[in-house]
Chains A and B, each alone.
Chain A
Amino acid sequence: MSLLSVKNLGVTLRNRTVFEDISFSVPKGEFIGLIGPNGAGKTTLMRASLGLLPHTGNSTIAEMSARDRAHAVAWMPQSREIAWPISVERIVALGRLPHLGAGQKMPPQDQAHVDAAISRLGLDAFRARAASRLSGGEQARALIARSIAQDTPLLMADEPIAGLDPAHQISTMQVFSELAKEGHAVVVSIHDLGLAARHCTRLILLAKGGILADGKPRDVLTPDLMAEAFGISVWHEETEQGPVFQPLEVVS
């Protein structure tokens, strides 16, 4: 069953066509990495398929009502905004907002979702700390936990691991991968191709106004496609410790 299906999606912003005619679908169990150079439209593609931007073509989620959408997908925007010094626990609990009535107290099963999300991201020690006063990486983890607490079939995040230390980048990618194995689907935009190669089940390469490649990481991270999309040479090897991918040099 597909959790998100996009057909012939196109976005034109200020008379500039960002991309056209994009189609893909996201089935259960996939952890999809959206890769592509700066300005290729990764954020725009995600926001348009969520229905947050005017677009042409169709997206199953963009056609939903705001209320239904909140039960279908959780979205973590790139700008990590936490306006007030609210505790991490309360920030994560905001993920339960679509599930609760106005002014309703948090029922135990909802609190369990919040606790699980906090533990998953290793934030137990930060529970009572004001989220807006944490470091950038810690804030990002709190916001990822918030999206997970929303407990939607699909989770979409815009560069969720940018700014995290290596240990937390890896553990966060593992969390996404576990979520996919549990039957959710995850779509993240990501610049770290090495991590994408190791953890994602599928990569969508967005470049030159459309999807350049869509498939298993080893089929997308080929020298030819990497040269064409990013202008880089790469080293990509299947090793005993799994796939290892390293960008090498800029090629003209």
Chain B
Amino acid sequence: MRLELGLLLVLIALFVVSLTVGPANVPARDSLAALFDPGYGPLTLVMQEIRLPRALLAIIVGAGLGLAGASMQGYLRNPLAEPGLIGVSGSAALGAVLAIYSGLAAGASLGLPLAALAGALVGVFLVMTLAGPRGGSLTLILAGIAISALAGALTSLVLNLSPNPFAANEIVFWMMGSLADRSMTHVWLALPFVLAGIAIIATTARGLDALTLGEDAAQTMGIDLGRLRLLLVFGTAAIVGGTTAVAGAIGFVGLVVPHILRPLVGARPSRLLWSSAIGGAIMLQLADIAVRLILPERDLKLGVVTAIVGAPLFLHLIFKTRKELP
């Protein structure tokens, strides 16, 4: 519990920092006061309409991706698993890309996120149909890879056929993932999906612990594997669909965060779920602050930063693992 509490304090501190970082060079105390006091005029507007949704989204998206990553690794008993594995992020991205290509994104304010959610829904339906009724994890991975590959190919096709370089540019930039210029509408759009996903995945915690000993042992400990897989896929799909819809494709959070925190929670999959949720929110909040501090005048993309930070962290973990080998 002490670890989770510590992480939570770090997260709260980062949330406050995130609220005070931005191109409008205002003292931290003023900007925080403006959040609650309309007397600050335009600053209040900046705080409530720009910085608050951004800081909230970093928590929502990061927590969702961290938890989904921990649950996927627990389910597949593989530290390399990540939420994108079941093909939902690929199909959500395809939905969004189609919305940009067709002009739907420009035409309706929520056209893009809703198209991404529709893509995620189609993706999860296809994956569950392909994976079949029996509860094994192997068919799920195969189905996920197939859907990811297909969605990736179709995304490339859309890029290939995009009418002008601007559309292609927009698509590419969107796919890098970002939290810039999001509104409270985006928060309200993502929040129910992420909360529902977290609630669904929370019910799988015992099953994930039992799965440590393999599928046979888990089944004889009273775990219904078919139900577990269904809950896990729908929970992950809700989280990945909801977060991709508002923030684009943000990688590495679901992969790296559980990996870093695993040794600190005694490797128990159930406990890792919660610490990874907080850890994911911390990582994304940090990355989103970095985006604004490193190159404030260029629109540095969040997904690029998480990848740049995530890849070396992963390398470090590889070297650590190599040292432990005989």
A contact set with B: CB distance below 8 Å:
47, 50, 52, 66-67, 69-71, 73-77, 79, 81-87, 90-91, 94-95, 97-98, 102-103, 130, 143, 146, 150
A9 to B: closest C-beta gap in Å: 17
**Which chain A residue lies CB-closest to B77?**
A83
Cα separation A140 to B219 with both chains bound (whole Å): 19
B223 touches A103 (CB 8 A): no
- What are 9 A-B residue pairs whose CB atoms fall within 8 Å in the complex? A67-B222, A70-B220, A70-B222, A77-B217, A83-B211, A85-B263, A86-B266, A90-B266, A91-B213
- CB-CB under 8 A from A130, the residues of chain B are 267
- B316 interface residue per 8 A CB criterion: no
A74 touches B220 (CB 8 A): yes
A73 touches B214 (CB 8 A): no
- B205 interface residue per 8 A CB criterion: yes
A97 touches B220 (CB 8 A): no
Known contacts A66-B224, A90-B268, A98-B221; is-contact A47 B216 (Cβ 8 Å): yes
By size class, the interface of chain B is 20 to 34
Query: Tally of A-B residue pairs with Cβ under 8 A?
Result: 77
- CB-CB under 8 A from A67, the residues of chain B are 222
A97 touches B217 (CB 8 A): no
Cα separation A98 to B218 with both chains bound (whole Å): 10
Cα separation A87 to B209 with both chains bound (whole Å): 13
Known contacts A84-B267, A102-B205; is-contact A143 B222 (Cβ 8 Å): no
**Which chain A residue lies CB-closest to B222?**
A70
- CB-CB under 8 A from B268, the residues of chain A are 84, 86, 90
Of A69, A77, A91, which is within 8 A of B212 by CB? A91
**Which chain B residue lies CB-closest to A150?**
B221
A84 touches B262 (CB 8 A): yes
- CB-CB under 8 A from B64, the residues of chain A are none
Cα separation A47 to B209 with both chains bound (whole Å): 21
Cα separation A82 to B219 with both chains bound (whole Å): 15
- CB-CB under 8 A from A76, the residues of chain B are 217
Cα separation A77 to B220 with both chains bound (whole Å): 10
Excluding A50-B220, A70-B221, 9 further A-B contacts by CB distance (< 8 Å) are: A75-B216, A79-B214, A81-B217, A83-B213, A84-B212, A84-B268, A85-B267, A94-B213, A103-B205
**Which chain A residue lies CB-closest to B262?**
A84
- CB-CB under 8 A from A103, the residues of chain B are 205
B203 touches A146 (CB 8 A): no
B216 touches A77 (CB 8 A): yes
